[in-house]
Amino acid sequence: MDAAVPCLPGAESVMGAPVLFGVRHLSPAMAYSVRQALDAYQPQLVLVEGPSDLNDQMHWLCHPRTQFPAAMMAYPKTPPVRTILYPLTVYSPELQAILWAHEHRVECRFMDLPSGVMLALEEGSEEEEEPEENTEWVYRRLEEITGEDHDAFWERNFEQLEDWRACREAANAFGTELRGTAQDGRQRTARTLVREAYMKKVIAQAVDNGVPPGKIFCVCGAFHVPGLEENEPMTAEEEAALPRVDCAATLMPYSYYRLSSRSGYGAGNQAPAYFELLWEELHREGAAGLPIRYLTCLAAAHREAGNLVSSAEVIEAARLAKTLCAMRGSRYPCLADLQDAAVTTMGHGNRSELSVARAETEIGKRVGFLPEGVSRTSVQEDFYRQLQELRLEKYRGMERQQLDLDLRERLNVKNQQTALLDLRRSFFLHRLRVLGIHFASLLPSRQEGANWGEYWDLRWTPEVEIEVVESSLLGDTIEGAAAFALKERGEGSTTISQAAAIFQDAFLCGMPAAASHALAVLQGLSVDTAALTEVAETAARLSLTVRYGDLRRFDAAPVIPLLQQLYLRACLTLEDACQCDAKAAPAVTEAMNQINLLQLSHDCLDEPRWLELLGRISDRDDLNTRCSGFAMAILLERGKADEELLAREVSRRLSPGVPADLGAGWFEGLAAKNRYALITRLSLWRHLDDYLSTLDDAAFRRALVFLRRAFADFSPGEKNDIAENLGEIWGVASEKPAEELMGELTQEEQEVLGDLEDFDFDDI
């Protein structure tokens, strides 16, 4: 036995086989045991499962300012975007092996396939689907036998082992049994064998370079231990034949939420904050101290959430957990025992009472941090630089926070950058939105008619980091990547509404060059025919640019000719579009409303043409009556229809002999706008009442369906005002009319509306 290696039971000789320490990823007990075993063996070389081309990242993993969790990420340099992640936290066995080697100045390397090969193999496996057998059915079988989930099984049988020899032996045995029982598909099995052959080759190369086999310490998943013991190393020819993609790698902060099973990441760790408590207790009193530590943290979190928890409840929970663990056959209570005990005592038998406190204590909100200088893509660097420059760093947390922006220039600030800070923030956040980076989501405006306010929800997640890295394929900066994304969308546009949406995004991003490109695409597409609704929507988007251009420091002059062209086209096609059925009428009236708002917003749009058009639509009897009624509503709203004209139209549209569907449909269009003015006109309601009184029972019921739909969007107060009008006309209390107005449409009434949707007003 070499003098450098202690004579310990189970210790390999210097000239014997390398030490293979099988672990479960993110296992505190395994991480603790790995460090103990390393102290015992004092190896010359530590090999860790991980991409062998990412050895340069180890320096940053060991940096004193690095805070975990963090993840190594590799991705191709060319589309399509794919990523592979290697998350690490403070109690990861692999990380603790790396840190031990760093502290003891021992060489440490990753030994798995290079990330480019892994990505290529993953890409090949996607082409042929195979069943998701893997080890999942083994875990399900374990659950059937033990009556608990496999996480509880692992914790009872492995996390409570306090001797590193027993821990290693148990983990390696579990890996062997798992490997012999699992039923992987052919491709997954082949990838596993290729990985193990490569790892075996790395070990063999170390021996060829003069490292005694017994001085090599390997940390890998327990599943791979049998393969490393039995299989042959990969040959040079086999390595040369491996598929590869050109890829890049980076380190990124991670979060405990992402590590938890609730986020969908299958790292075998459903409660990362809880296991951090175990890791800390292993360095204090051992696993025996964990139950009290967990329960006191849970009680503190429950109190912080505004609930009362007594010390007696905590003590009783500890006693109950100890009893449960004895009944279930483990030395110390595991998380399942502690949860059951806490629910019984602190939660009074109700799991939902403790849901917030449990999330805080078991999952936690910890987010990693990487020091400056960590190798990042240029887009990452730009992203973090702008976070700092725009004073948005405080929003980089797992808690959702709201940011209110005032886009107006601050006149009391001399520095131009500071005076336009919120506008610059808006540009940045909109660029992230265009890139699909979900750091911020835009909320609806809280001030109707105000154009200077923007309201955002900000929340950082590890997915944000992934999305930032993926944007590196589009450009070197956030702005450059956004410009490329907009250009690609523009080249793929086939309709004016698509091009208008791109133009609006470029405008909101503060990118005039991208806006010019989108405008050119839009002008090219605008020569083709388009539906009225699409023209109206496109014009509305362009209107936004013209109205708010000064606020966003954007020259909107080139947009005005196109806006005028679209407005003219809408005016020329609206009248024909009103010859539609009941199903299409709502879309046509919405387009009519958009065009009206458009004309009101811009003096450069011909007002007489628009008012004359509305008059014709209002007068014509061969158009959809809802559209005609809506045209009259706009004229009333704009003060272009007097009482005499309204009375004449009401008498004509609601006269005896006019079918109920047409008369009530016209009134539905009229009631869609200007409601207060309509409610105060008692003469209107007298006309309506006179008209309804002329209908037979069947026609009355059909008319009532339309009227109740017309009143569906009215507020309760407006409905009460109408009920008072009708009550006065009928000489009854307003409760009865109110009942009819407030009621929901019955199934029979819904069927009546369905039957009318295909009515074609061209046939009138």
Judge if 179 and 327 occupy the same domain: no
Judge if 56 and 150 occupy the same domain: yes
Chosen domain end from 473, 497, 516: 473
Q: What is the mean pLDDT of the chain?
A: 85
* Residue 9 CB burial class (10 angstroms; 0-12, 13-18, ≥19): exposed
Handedness of CA 171, 172, 177, 178 (dihedral sign): positive
The pLDDT-based confidence of 264 (bands split at 50, 70, 90) is very low
Count: domains in the chain: 3
Q: What pLDDT score does 336 carry?
A: 94
Question: 468 is in which domain, residue-wise?
Answer: 378-473
Owner of token pair 């272009």: 640
Distance between CA 344 and CA 407 in Å, rounded?
53
**Structure token pair of residue 347:** 């939660």
Residue type, 172: N
Q: In the chain, what is the greatest distance between 2 CA atoms, to the nearest angstrom? A: 114
Domain membership flag for residue 557: no
Q: Which residue has the higher pLDDT, 266 or 388?
A: 388
- How crowded is residue 657: how many other Cβ atoms within 10 Å of its Cβ? 6
Domain membership flag for residue 446: yes
Distance between CA 120 and CA 247 in Å, rounded?
10
Domain membership flag for residue 627: no
Judge if 143 and 286 occupy the same domain: no
Q: What pLDDT score does 210 carry?
A: 95
pLDDT in tens, 137-177: 777 777 888 788 888 889 999 999 989 999 999 999 999 98
Per-residue pLDDT, averaged over 413-440, amounts to 90
Owner of token pair 């045991």: 33
Q: Which residue has the higher pLDDT, 428 or 269?
A: 428
**Structure token pair of residue 1:** 């036995």
Judge if 336 and 411 occupy the same domain: no
Judge if 302 and 383 occupy the same domain: no
Domain membership flag for residue 433: yes
Question: Is the pLDDT reported for residue 391 higher than 90?
Answer: yes
Residue type, 354: L
Do residues 472 and 247 lie in contact, with contact meaning Cβ atoms separated by under 8 Å?
no
Chosen domain end from 340, 363, 386: 363
Q: What pLDDT score does 733 carry?
A: 47
19 three-class SS: strand
Question: Is the pLDDT reported for residue 764 higher than 70?
Answer: no
Judge if 200 and 331 occupy the same domain: no
Chosen domain end from 363, 387, 421: 363
Judge if 389 and 241 occupy the same domain: no
Q: Which of 541-545, 606-610, 712-716, 749-753 has the lowest mean pLDDT?
A: 749-753
The pLDDT-based confidence of 485 (bands split at 50, 70, 90) is very high
Q: What pLDDT score does 453 carry?
A: 86
Domain membership flag for residue 69: yes
Q: What pLDDT score does 413 carry?
A: 72
Residue type, 372: E
Question: Is the pLDDT reported for residue 679 higher than 60?
Answer: yes
- Cα R_g (the chain), whole angstroms: 36
Do residues 219 and 167 lie in contact, with contact meaning Cβ atoms separated by under 8 Å?
no
Distance between CA 293 and CA 291 in Å, rounded?
5
Judge if 103 and 162 occupy the same domain: yes
Question: Is the pLDDT reported for residue 487 higher than 60?
Answer: yes
The pLDDT-based confidence of 702 (bands split at 50, 70, 90) is low
Cβ contacts of 232 within 8 Å, gap of 6 or more: 197, 200
pLDDT in tens, 579-618: 998 889 999 999 999 999 999 999 999 999 999 999 999 9
Judge if 224 and 292 occupy the same domain: no
Q: What pLDDT score does 7 carry?
A: 38
Per-residue pLDDT, averaged over 722-748, amounts to 55
Please give the backbone phi and psi of residue 457, each rounded to the nearest 5 degrees, phi first: -105, 125
Q: Helices 378-389 and 462-470 meet at what angle, rounded to 10?
A: 120
- How crowded is residue 312: how many other Cβ atoms within 10 Å of its Cβ? 9
Domain membership flag for residue 437: yes
Q: Which helix (H) or strand (E) holds 337?
A: helix 335-345
Q: Which of 41-50, 223-232, 367-376 has the lowest mean pLDDT?
A: 367-376
Domain membership flag for residue 23: yes
Handedness of CA 698, 702, 703, 704 (dihedral sign): positive
Q: Which helix (H) or strand (E) holds 43?
A: none
Judge if 94 and 240 occupy the same domain: yes
Alpha carbon 54 to its chain's center: 29
With a pLDDT cut of 70, the percent of the chain lying above it is: 83
DSSP 486-544: HHHHHHT--SHHHHHHHHHHHHHTT-HHHHHHHHHHHHHHTTS---HHHHHHHHHHHHH
Domain membership flag for residue 617: no
Judge if 195 and 330 occupy the same domain: no
Q: Is cis: bond before 80, omega within 30 of 0?
A: yes
Cβ contacts of 424 within 8 Å, gap of 6 or more: 390, 417, 510
Judge if 109 and 233 occupy the same domain: yes
Q: What pLDDT score does 438 carry?
A: 92
